Chains A and B, each alone.
Chain A
Amino acid sequence: MDNKYRINHLRELESESIYVIREVVAQFENPCMLFSGGKDSIIMFHLARKAFWPARVPFPLMHIDTGHNFQETLDFRDKLMKETETKLIVRYVQDSIDQGKVVDETGVNASRNLLQTTTLLDGIEAMKFDCAMGGGRRDEEKARAKERFFSHRDEFGQWDPKNQRPELWNIFNGRKHMGEHFRVFPISNWTEMDVWQYILLENIPIPNLYFSHEREVVDRDGTILAAGEYVTLKEGEIPVKRIVRFRTIGDMTCTGAVESTANSLEEIIEEVASTRITERGGRYDDKRSEAAMEDRKKEGYF
C-alpha cells in the first residue's frame, strides 16, 4: 500500500463496528450485549472494549445458557468477565423449561437451540433492555444477508424482513415505541475469515475448543458431535476418539466439529482459506429446513 492514509480491511471493519457500538450507547437507554463465549461474541466484546477505553464497557453482557454448554466455554467466559470487570447476566433455558414456558425436546436429535428464543425474549423483557447487540454476521446464512445493523423488533420481539428500515451511509435510526426493542449487529460485515485474521492481528484469547484436540465424538449424518451427557446416542452409535476442532461453539447437541490438526491461529486461517464448507454447515440446527434460519429469526432468535 503506497498511500499513507490508508487502512486495511480489518481496520476498516473494526472502525465501522466501533462506530455502531458507540451509536447503541448513544441512542439507547438500557442496552446489553449478547455473549455466548464463541469467537464472534468474543471479538464483538473486544471491539466494545476498544470503543470505550479507558472506561469500562458501559453495558452488561447477557448469556443465554442452554445448560448444554462446553465447560471450557463457561470457564473462559468467567475468566474474561473477571479480568475486564464486566457485568454478566446469565439466563437459563432450564428456568424457562421449569416454568413450563417451553418443553424440552426429547429423542436422539433433541436440541435446546430453538428454546433459547423464549429465554432470550424473557431476559430482554425482565431486564427491560431496549437493545440487544448480537454477533450475527451477514455471511453466515442467507436470511442474515438482508439483516440491518439496527434491526427493529416489535413488542413480541419479532423480525419483519419485508418491513425493514432502509439503512444509508452511517446513519442509524434507533427510534422506537414503548415496548419495542432493537437487535443490533455490529459485526454484520465481517466474514469468518475476517474474524480469524482479526483474532490473530489483535492477539485475542479464545477458548481451546477452537484448536485441534482429541475428543470422543459420534458421526451423525455427516455432522461430528461431541459425545457427552447431553447427546443422546442413537442405536448402534459408538463414540470414537478423533482429532477434531470446532469452527463454532454453541450448544453441544448441535455444534459440529471438523477433523483438523490446526493448532495455531495461522493454521486455522490456512484451513479456513482452503475449506469448502461454510462454518454453519456443521450446525445441525440449520439443516432442519431450507428456511430454518429465517423462521427462527422472525420469532426473535439471535
Chain B
Amino acid sequence: MSEEYNRGYLDMELLRFTTAGSVDDGKSTLIGRLLYDSKAIFEDQMEAIEKASLKTGDGEVNLALLTDGLRAEREQGITIDVAYRYFATPKRKFIIADTPGHVQYTRNMVTGASTANVALILIDARHGVIEQTLRHSYIASLLQIPHIIVCINKMDLVDYKEEVFENIKSDFDRISTKLDVHDIRFVPISAKLGDNVVDRSKNMDWYDGPTLMYLLENIHIASDINHNDTRFPVQHVIRPMKEEYHDYRGYAGRIEGGVFHVGDKVKVLPSSLSSKIKSIDVLEGHVEEAFAPQSVALSLEDDIDISRGNLIIKDNGLPKSGQDIEMMICWFDEKPMMLGGKYTMKHTTNDLRCVIRDVKYKINVNTLDHDKEDKKIGLNDIAKISIKTTKPLYFDSYIKNRNTGSVILIDEATNNTVAAGMII
C-alpha cells in the first residue's frame, strides 16, 4: 500500500467533522467561507445562490442558501436535516455533517456527530458561552468525538479584543470539566471577514495559535481508531460457485478494531471455536495484513460454522458479553419510549430484540443535571437506561470502540429507527 502514498494527491486523509449551530452564530457563513476559500463552490452553484438570494430579497448573497438543500428549508430559512458537504485541500478530504443547532433538532446533531472525528463549536463573541454551547459540547462528548475546536466567531464585532477571547475560553474550560473530552482547541475568528479561518488574521496580533483550516488539516486523527483490540463482525459469507474456488469460504466484513495478519490465531464468538487466518482477500489478490477500518474477506484454516453476526477476534483484549446492558440513549421518535416495551436492536451486524427495563436518569441537556424522577422519554431526550437482550451480546463500551459499542433501536410496528444507544 505504501507506493500509493508516493503519488502526491493520494497522500490525503479523510476527516469528518460536524458543525452544530444556527444561522445566528454564523455557522452557514463559516461553512460557506471554508467551501469558498478552498474553491469547493463552483460558478454555477454561486449563480444559483445569487438567483435565490434575489428571490428572498436578502440584498446580499446569502451563503446559507448553499447549505439549505430542501425547498422547505430554503423557504423557511432554516436547516431541518443533516446535510453533508464536501471539500478538499491538498492534505485532506473533508466531509462536513452540517446540523441544525436548536434543541428540537438534538437527534439530528447526534446523528451528525456519530461518525465525526472533530466537532466545530461556534460561539458568538458578543454572547459568550450560552445554553446551546453547553448542549452542543455535551453531545460531542456523549458521542465521543475525539477533538473539539471551539470557534469564537464575530471577533470583528468586539473589536478583536483579546480579553473577550480569553474570558470565553476560561468560561468554556469551566463547563468542559463536566464533560468527557480530551482535546479542545480555541480559535478567534470572523467567518464573515475571513479572519483566522483559512488566512491568518491581520487584526489579532495577540493570537499566535493556528488558523481553523490549519487545525482541520493537521489535527492528528490516526490514533482515534482502536488498533489494539481486534474486532471483525462477520457481515456476509462468500461462497463462490466456481470450480477453482470449490471449497472457499470467505468471511466478509469491515475490521472495527485492531490488526489481523495471515497466520494469526483467531477465535469466533459466540461459538468460541478457534482457527487460524489462511488468507486475507481483496479483489483478484491477497494481502498479508489488514486493519481498521478496512473492508476485507478472511478465510480460515478450519471449516467451522460461521455466519453473519458472529465476531472474529484474536485472543488479546476480549469484548464484554451479557444480556443486561446499560447505555445512554437519545430518543428519535415522536412516539415516546415504552418502559417495558420490546424493540428490535441492531448492533454491528447483529439483529436481536430487547426489552427496556428501567430509566436510570434523564439528562437536562441545558444544565447537564440528572433527573432521576422523570421516566418519560420522548423525542430528543437523552437518558441512561438499562435493557435486557434476548440473546447474549458481545460488545465493547462505547468509550473503547464507537462501532462495537453502539446500537440502534427500531420500532417493530413502524420499522423506524427510534433511538441511538451508546453502551456504558
Besides A3-B223, A5-B225, A168-B408, 10 more A-B contacts (Cβ < 8 Å) are: A11-B4, A19-B254, A53-B281, A55-B250, A56-B242, A139-B86, A173-B346, A189-B95, A191-B86, A278-B44
The 10 closest A-B pairs by CB, nearest first: A142-B69, A55-B240, A281-B44, A168-B114, A175-B415, A18-B295, A9-B14, A9-B93, A50-B283, A3-B222
CB distance from B92 to the nearest CB of A (A): 7
User: A15 at the A/B interface (Cβ < 8 Å)?
Assistant: yes
User: B207 at the A/B interface (Cβ < 8 Å)?
Assistant: no
Among A166, A170, A193, A290, contact of B332 (Cβ-Cβ < 8 Å): A166
Complex Cα distance, B107 from A15, in Å, reads 26
If the complex has contacts A14-B295, A23-B235, A51-B295, are A7 and B111 also in contact, measured as CB distance less than 8 A?
no
For chain A, residues 171 to 192, give those with C-beta under 8 angstroms from any C-beta of chain B.
Answer: 171, 173, 175-177, 188-189, 191
CB distance from B367 to the nearest CB of A (A): 25
Chain B window 76-117, contacts with chain A (Cβ cutoff 8 Å), 1 for yes, 0 for no: 000011111110100011010000000000011011001100
Complex Cα distance, B336 from A91, in Å, reads 44
Residues of B within 8 A of A (CB): 1, 4-5, 9-14, 39, 42-45, 48, 51-52, 66-72, 80-86, 88, 92-93, 95, 107-108, 110-111, 114-115, 222-223, 225, 227, 235-236, 238-242, 244-245, 248, 250, 252-254, 259, 281-284, 291-295, 297, 308, 332, 344, 346-349, 402-403, 406-408, 410, 415-417, 420
CB distance from A115 to the nearest CB of B (A): 23
In the complex, what residues of B have CB within 8 A of residue A53's CB?
A: 238, 281-284, 297
Complex Cα distance, B71 from A160, in Å, reads 12
In the complex, what residues of B have CB within 8 A of residue A8's CB?
A: 4-5, 10-14
In the complex, what residues of B have CB within 8 A of residue A168's CB?
A: 110-111, 114-115, 406, 408, 417, 420
Chain A window 280-302, contacts with chain B (Cβ cutoff 8 Å), 1 for yes, 0 for no: 01000000001100100000000
Complex Cα distance, B14 from A194, in Å, reads 11
For chain A, residues 149 to 170, give those with C-beta under 8 angstroms from any C-beta of chain B.
Answer: 161-162, 164-170
Among B13, B45, B239, B410, contact of A6 (Cβ-Cβ < 8 Å): B13
In the complex, what residues of B have CB within 8 A of residue A193's CB?
A: 88
Complex Cα distance, B39 from A275, in Å, reads 10
Complex Cα distance, B242 from A53, in Å, reads 11
Complex Cα distance, B42 from A9, in Å, reads 22
Contact (Cβ within 8 A) A54 B248 = yes
User: A126 at the A/B interface (Cβ < 8 Å)?
Assistant: no
Complex Cα distance, B14 from A49, in Å, reads 24
Contact (Cβ within 8 A) A277 B43 = yes
If the complex has contacts A51-B295, A278-B45, are A294 and B71 also in contact, measured as CB distance less than 8 A?
yes
CB distance from B44 to the nearest CB of A (A): 4
Among A166, A169, A269, A276, contact of B403 (Cβ-Cβ < 8 Å): A169
In the complex, what residues of B have CB within 8 A of residue A290's CB?
A: 48, 51-52
- Look across to chain B and name the residue whose beta carbon is closest to the beta carbon of A15: B295
Contact (Cβ within 8 A) B417 A166 = yes
Chain A window 181-214, contacts with chain B (Cβ cutoff 8 Å), 1 for yes, 0 for no: 0000000110101100100010000000000000
- Look across to chain B and name the residue whose beta carbon is closest to the beta carbon of A165: B417
User: A145 at the A/B interface (Cβ < 8 Å)?
Assistant: yes
Contact (Cβ within 8 A) A291 B71 = yes
Can you name 25 A-B residue pairings with CB atoms under 8 Å? Answer: A7-B293, A7-B294, A9-B14, A9-B93, A12-B14, A14-B295, A19-B254, A22-B253, A50-B282, A51-B295, A53-B281, A54-B244, A139-B85, A146-B83, A146-B84, A161-B70, A161-B81, A165-B417, A170-B254, A171-B346, A173-B408, A173-B415, A177-B415, A189-B84, A277-B42
In the complex, what residues of A have CB within 8 A of residue B42's CB?
A: 275-278, 281
- Look across to chain B and name the residue whose beta carbon is closest to the beta carbon of A174: B415
Complex Cα distance, B12 from A150, in Å, reads 27
CB distance from A220 to the nearest CB of B (A): 16
In the complex, what residues of A have CB within 8 A of residue B82's CB?
A: 146
User: A25 at the A/B interface (Cβ < 8 Å)?
Assistant: yes
In the complex, what residues of B have CB within 8 A of residue A64's CB?
A: none
If the complex has contacts A8-B12, A170-B254, A173-B415, are A145 and B69 also in contact, measured as CB distance less than 8 A?
yes
Chain A window 7-31, contacts with chain B (Cβ cutoff 8 Å), 1 for yes, 0 for no: 1111111111011001101100000
Complex Cα distance, B24 from A245, in Å, reads 44
- Look across to chain B and name the residue whose beta carbon is closest to the beta carbon of A190: B86
CB distance from A53 to the nearest CB of B (A): 5
Among A6, A14, A166, contact of B420 (Cβ-Cβ < 8 Å): A166
Contact (Cβ within 8 A) A175 B410 = yes
Contact (Cβ within 8 A) A55 B241 = yes
In the complex, what residues of B have CB within 8 A of residue A112's CB?
A: none
Complex Cα distance, B252 from A23, in Å, reads 10
Contact (Cβ within 8 A) A15 B44 = no
Contact (Cβ within 8 A) A164 B254 = no
CB distance from B381 to the nearest CB of A (A): 14
User: A68 at the A/B interface (Cβ < 8 Å)?
Assistant: no
Contact (Cβ within 8 A) B44 A277 = yes
